[in-house]
Structures are given as C-alpha cells and as structure tokens.
Amino acid sequence: MHIYKHTVKYYETDRMGFTHHSNYIRWMEEARIDFMDRIGWNYQRFEDEGLISPVTAVECKYRKTTTFPDTVTIDVSVEEFRSIKLRIKYVMSKENGDIVCEGASEHCFLNKDGKLVRIDKEYPEFAKILTQMTE
C-alpha cells in the first residue's frame, strides 16, 4: 500500500461548498502517478520504453463529502495484476479516519503501435514489482 495526500482546493468545490464528484477520479490519477513514480516506473519511463497504459475502466463509490481545505489521504494498492491488465484500488479518507470515497481503475499496457504488451514477458522486473504488491 502507498499513501498519497491531497488538500482540497477551493476551485474543486461546487456552489454548495462540497468537492465536486469529478475531482475524486482526478485525485485517483494523481495518486496513481505518484505511486508509479515511487516504484520506479514513472510515466516518463513508460514513454521512454514506448509504452502507454490507458484507463480501461474506473469505479468510484462516494461515502462522505469533503470540503475546502480538507486533507484527503489516498491509500493506493495493486488489487490485481495479470500481465496485460492492472487494477489499482484507492481508499480516500479524511484526517479523522472517515472514508469519503472508494474507487478503482483498470489499465492495460500498449506499445507505441497500439498493440497489447505482456508485461511479464517484455518487462519482467516491472511485472515482479506489481506481482509482489498485489493484495
């Protein structure tokens, strides 16, 4: 598990003062990019290797509201990894421990020609890291 923190910005709230629902998915992306960087596979490295990892699905279950300037802790973990598919889980909490959102994103791996890449075959060291991190 990896922890990422985000402070709710004023512009992320709606007229009622609550964080707009679309921002939680944006925070998942922020947390995922930070997670990938920390495990040594940042997006610059992906591009240098000729890889991309598009989102193929996203889920978001809202539990409680957040407002400006709450600090949201995002626990990031690898829920599933199968060579061409990666599923990342996110649990977002306020400082008091209340879970505000639970989500997941699924990704595949493509080369620069748009063909699926089997990470376990072509990037075994990356596959090993993801496998070790799978819950």
d(CA 26, CA 32): 10
CB-CB contact of 90 with 30 (8 Å): no
Q: Which of 14, 48, 70, 113 is catalytic?
A: 14
Q: Which two tokens stand for residue 59?
A: 């889920």
**Which of 106, 107, 104, 135 is closest to 24 using CA atoms?**
104
What is the residue whose two structure tokens read 């402070």?
Answer: 7
d(CA 73, CA 95): 7
Q: Catalytic residue at 48?
A: no
Residues carrying an active site annotation: 14
